[in-house]
């Protein structure tokens, strides 16, 4: 009986430690992130920490050349935010999916400094170099 109680106590303690680490990891990404091109905001990502990391993105209608460099950004046809789902933090990298209707795109936001990050489109049909973001 004593071993069982000790095992349960250890499991509960481990769960609390993991939960605290998870909340701290989430907090590193929480906030409003903006990407700029030619001085204008071209994409906004808003992330909220909680039981799990959630958020939304707005904008991100871009054009790239063959090398994957950003060449143009135009306002999206639909200015409704797209949901961020399945967010997972692994060190300095946040993996997530953006859903827009029936479309889903996998992305990674990697911290490069305390308030700077780079967004990479994991499954883009064309080469796109990472896009720099800054937290407001």
pLDDT of residue 55: 96
pLDDT digits (tens, 9 = 90+) for 50-83: 989 999 999 778 999 999 999 999 887 777 899 9
pLDDT at position 20 is: 38
- Going residue by residue through the chain (136 aa), what tens digit of pLDDT does each one get? 544 433 443 333 333 333 434 888 899 999 999 999 999 999 999 999 998 999 999 977 899 999 999 999 988 777 789 999 999 999 999 999 998 778 899 999 999 999 999 999 998 999 999 999 999 9
For residue 1, what are the CA distances in angstroms to 8, 11, 13, 15, 118?
11, 15, 18, 21, 52
- At 46 the pLDDT is 97
User: 81 Cβ partners below 8 Å, 6+ apart?
Assistant: 46, 56, 57, 58
pLDDT at 119: 97
Provide the domain limits for residue 116. Answer: 2-135
Number of domains in the chain: 1
Contact (Cβ atoms closer than 8 angstroms) between residue 19 and residue 13: no
pLDDT at 83: 94
Q: Is 44 helix (H, G, I), strand (E, B) or coil?
A: strand
Find, among 130, 108, 129, 120, the residue nearest to 65 by Cα: 129
CATH number at residue 44: 2.40.128.210
């Amino acid at each position: 009986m004593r071993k069982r109680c000790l095992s349960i106590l250890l499991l509960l303690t481990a769960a609390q430690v993991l939960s605290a680490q998870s909340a701290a990891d989430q907090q590193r990404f929480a906030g409003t992130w903006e990407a700029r091109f030619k001085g204008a905001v071209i994409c906004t990502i808003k992330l909220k920490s909680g039981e799990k990391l959630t958020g939304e993105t707005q904008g991100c209608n871009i054009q790239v050349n063959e090398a994957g460099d950003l060449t143009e950004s135009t306002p999206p046809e639909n200015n409704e935010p797209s949901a961020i789902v399945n967010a997972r933090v692994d060190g300095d990298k946040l993996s997530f999916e953006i859903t827009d209707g029936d479309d889903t795109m996998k992305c990674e936001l990697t911290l490069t400094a305390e308030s700077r990050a780079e967004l990479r489109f994991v499954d883009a049909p064309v080469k796109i170099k990472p896009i720099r973001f800054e937290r407001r």
